[in-house]
Structure 1
Amino acid sequence: MANADNVANQEQAKPSYETYVEQLKAEALAKGFSQTFVDQTFANITFYKRAVKADRNQPERVETLDTYLPKRLPKWKVDRARRLYKEHKELLTKVGEEYGVQPRFIVALWGLETNFGKIMGNYNVVSALSTLAYEGRREAFFKKQLWAALTILDEGHIKVDNMKGSWAGAMGQNQFMPTSFISYAVDGDGDGKKDIWGNQADVFASMANYLKSEGWNDDLTWGRQVKLPEGFDISLAIPKNTGSRKNWLKAWANTEKTLQEWQELGIRRTDGTALPKVDVKAALVFPDDEKGRAYLAYDNYKSLMHWNLSYYFVSSVGHLSDHIKFPPIK
């Protein structure tokens, strides 16, 4: 009963959302934002019950990559990716050459994040971040995102009523969190604004800048699905659950080998033929377990894992990019 009483007391001690917003406004003023700006930005603040519910009840995944990929990459999405790649080829080529990122990966990320800009979320970002900070489960994280969002507004890249995103505050056609916007968003067409909501040049350049900043190498692809020999030592792969990006990168460094070394260990392409004879290092990953698909992942895989630390997401991006590069022969 003592624990229940403590929880009840904590709930009673928690300020109202309106009081909490006033505290946020005071903190914003202390950070140097003007009174007029703060008043205008928080003028129509809303509490989103749906955001709290979504944050507390994120679904547990009961998928395998074999069931996940067909859902994420239906034929209509692959066809649309190919069509939009051709439609925006001039701009994509320019961006790809400037940042050293193959355009097919930009289109793949665009398609998987927001269905090519069609589904960006309709939550007011300031309200969503304020709501989730108030909820308290990850208050420090969402307050950090809120201050970044205020910086974006103060710099004039977007108006507060147009700053829409997901329930968690991910914004625009590339679903950048506000801190990612601060770090990676760029003005792709030189108009003085970084508009990842409606300006295609800014959207593509920001995506490319993100990947470039995280070590992208346009001489490489992302990885390849491979076939393991009987009795293969699965301890040579990156462990499934490393717990954090830092630990995952450490595991990568401890397990990567050259393609020649993997070849000598019996790994082959899925059709049984030899691996490419190129001087490239790769790590072995199992998106599910050793009974599921196996991939040799190249350095660009790390850049994609920085974007989203999910084997399923990165596999989807990789496969969609391959569909764009290798359309079916008619």
Structure 2
Amino acid sequence: MKRLACLLLLAPAFAAQADQADQAFQRCLVGLKTAAAGKGVSAASFDRYTAGLQPDPSVLELLDAQPEFTTPIWDYLAGLVDAERVADGRAMLETHRELLARIEREYGVDAATVVAVWGVESDYGRVFGKRPLLVSLSTLSCAGRRQEFFRGEFFATLRLLQDGHIQAEGLTGSWAGAFGHTQFIPSTYARIAVDGDGDGRRDLVGSIPDALASTANYLKRAGWRTGQPWGFEVKLPQGFDASLAGRGKRRPLSDWTARGVRGVDGSEVAPPSVPASSQAAVLLPAGRDAPAFLVFRNYDAIYSYNAAESYALAISLLSDRLRGGEGLAAVWPTDDPGLSRAERRRLQQSLLDRGHDIGEVDGMIGSNTRRAIQAEQRRLGMQPADGRAGRRILEALDSDRPGPEPKAAE
């Protein structure tokens, strides 16, 4: 009763805070309307698309929590380059073979790379993001850090709506404003999106040809070199100086071969399509005793799409698998590897079977799933009880299946 009484006393204070936040948001929108006019957004369009907008404070918590920077690389890649995504990507290569061939002729970017971006960004159009785009961008334009950046994205979205390229109804995306099949942010959409199906619009939400052609155009403009690889996994010599590694520490390919960098099978690194004078970098995303990569200019083009090494490696490695590659030869330095999406769903089902309220079995590891994992780790005496969805907890729960209910005595 005491707790209820306290909550009742605090309720007016919470309501007052919410009201103040909403008033501040509405004042911010007034200022944004004036600024938007300078970016070509008419007053009528601004009023139309912002009518009834309310802020969403939850997006502010995500500014410093991007998975590319917070998730172990073996977890990140396990979910993005799994058997399902490879099989689906190969099916998409076949389904859209003629379209992709035309895109490759026009932009010089191979089909496997374009489809890999599509697969990583939206699971081939299945996952666009659930957050209302205008709500997220208007909130980030009025609160938190990087407001100037998000205001630019907000205004770019309003222009796209005003010009008829996209529709406001059901327009959703990521918390940061990326949307569509290949998750362009609005300013990139405005600069780089192309009309791939010839209907006069650049619709990366409703048109697969527009989305895939726009992705190829992006990579071309980012410096893509036709016919060259992004890079490949390599084997380092004993005693390799790890301080030489890093995307910005480039040397001629001939220098790396002279230092003993070899293919994973021990062969000399000398791709026919890459001159020996080409600049390359060695990447050690998990240290020297882990998978190592030699990357070229095309890797930089992929990296520019979302500036994170794990992200660029996910697209690069998925593109290799789509071409028929077998995956990595070296293993990651962990005794608890990451899980594919199928394994994550199996883990979630195990948690549901044990009475944990985690919501839908979807392979997405959210806070409810992590709390349930943590509870099971504690029950099983596992350390650390960190809520991580890895192979150890999956196998522990597989081995600890609840038995059948005992029969009642007759």
**Normalising to structure 1: TM-score of the pair?**
0.85
Superposed, 1:5-24 pairs within 5 Å as 16-24=24-32
Measure the CA separation in 2 of the matches of 1:187 and 1:277: 35
Partner of 1:198: 206
Classify 1:58/1:92 alpha carbon distance in 2 versus 1 (closer, same or farther; 3 Å): closer
Measure the CA separation in 2 of the matches of 1:46 and 1:122: 16
| C-alpha displacement of 1:62 | 4.6
Partner of 2:122: 114
The aligned amino acid for 2:260 is G
Measure the CA separation in 1 of the matches of 2:64 and 2:303: 24
- 1:124·1:161 contact (CA, 8 Å) conserved in 2? no
Measure the CA separation in 2 of the matches of 1:185 and 1:136: 29
Structure 2: runs of 5 or more not aligned: 1-19, 327-410
1:61 aligns with 2:70: yes
Superposed, 1:174-253 pairs within 5 Å as 174-238=182-246, 251-252=248-249
- 1:224·1:295 contact (CA, 8 Å) conserved in 2? yes
Partner of 1:290: 288
Structure 1: runs of 5 or more not aligned: 1-11, 239-247
Question: Which has the larger displacement, 53-62 or 263-272?
Answer: 53-62
Measure the CA separation in 2 of the matches of 1:19 and 1:200: 39
| C-alpha displacement of 1:67 | 4.1
The aligned amino acid for 2:222 is E
1:275 aligns with 2:269: yes
Query: Kindly, what percent of the aligned residue pairs are identical?
Result: 34
Measure the CA separation in 2 of the matches of 1:235 and 1:30: 48
Measure the CA separation in 2 of the matches of 1:56 and 1:107: 29
Partner of 2:339: none
**Normalising to structure 2: TM-score of the pair?**
0.69
Q: What is the SS of the residue equivalent to 1:161?
A: coil
- 1:173·1:197 contact (CA, 8 Å) conserved in 2? yes
| C-alpha displacement of 1:126 | 1.9
Partner of 1:241: none
Q: Deviations over 1:233-278 (max 9, x none)?
A: 223222xxxxxxxxx6xx34xx2212x3222111111111221254
Partner of 2:258: 264
- 2:114·2:212 contact (CA, 8 Å) conserved in 1? yes
- 1:256·1:284 contact (CA, 8 Å) conserved in 2? no
Structure number, greater radius of gyration: 2
| C-alpha displacement of 1:189 | 1.4
Measure the CA separation in 1 of the matches of 2:282 and 2:54: 46
The aligned amino acid for 1:312 is S
- 2:178·2:185 contact (CA, 8 Å) conserved in 1? yes
| C-alpha displacement of 1:58 | 4.7
The one of 301, 304, 324 equivalent to 1:303 is: 301
What is the root-mean-square deviation in Å for CA atoms of aligned residues?
Answer: 2.1
Q: What is the SS of the residue equivalent to 2:269?
A: coil
| C-alpha displacement of 1:187 | 0.6
The aligned amino acid for 1:263 is T
